[in-house]
Chains A and B, each alone.
Chain A
Amino acid sequence: MAAEAPATITAMKRLSLLPALALAGCLTHLPPVSQKHLDIHWAASFDAAQVRAVAERKPLLVCLVAGEIAGPC
Chain B
Amino acid sequence: MGGQALRSAALADQGVIDYINDHFVPVWINVRTEPIPNVRRLDQVLIEARLDATRHISNLFSLGFFLRSVVLDPEATTILNWQPNTLMGSGMHLWTDGSFAYAQYQPDDYRRMLHEALEKFQFLEDNRVTAR
Shortest beta-carbon distance from A57 to chain B in Å = 6
How many Å lie between the Cα of A54 and that of B128 in the bound state? 14
How many Å lie between the Cα of A27 and that of B114 in the bound state? 27
Q: Is the CB–CB distance between A68 and B26 below 8 Å?
A: no
How many Å lie between the Cα of A41 and that of B17 in the bound state? 9
| Residues 23-66 of chain A, each 1 if its beta carbon lies under 8 Å from chain B, else 0 | 01111001011101101111111111110111011111111111
**A60: chain B residues within 8 A (beta carbon):** 24-27, 70-74, 76
Shortest beta-carbon distance from B65 to chain A in Å = 5
Contacts A/B (CB < 8 Å), 22 sampled: A10-B98, A11-B98, A18-B1, A26-B4, A32-B4, A36-B11, A36-B17, A37-B11, A40-B11, A40-B26, A58-B23, A58-B74, A59-B71, A59-B74, A62-B37, A62-B69, A62-B70, A64-B42, A66-B64, A67-B30, A68-B30, A69-B28
Q: Is the CB–CB distance between A59 and B118 below 8 Å?
A: yes
| Residues 60-82 of chain B, each 1 if its beta carbon lies under 8 Å from chain A, else 0 | 00111111111111111000100
Residues of A within 8 A of B (CB): 10-11, 14-15, 18, 21-22, 24-27, 30, 32-34, 36-37, 39-50, 52-54, 56-69, 73
A65 and B24 in contact (CB under 8 A), knowing A26-B64, A26-B65, A33-B12? Answer: no
Interface membership of B50, Cβ < 8 A: no
- Closest B-chain residue to A25, C-beta based? B4
How many Å lie between the Cα of A65 and that of B23 in the bound state? 21
Interface membership of B6, Cβ < 8 A: yes
How many Å lie between the Cα of A69 and that of B20 in the bound state? 16
How many Å lie between the Cα of A8 and that of B38 in the bound state? 39
**B69: chain A residues within 8 A (beta carbon):** 61-64
Closest 7 CB pairs of A and B: A26-B2, A25-B4, A37-B11, A65-B3, A14-B98, A53-B74, A49-B27
Q: Is the CB–CB distance between B25 and A73 below 8 Å?
A: no
Q: Is the CB–CB distance between B74 and A66 below 8 Å?
A: no
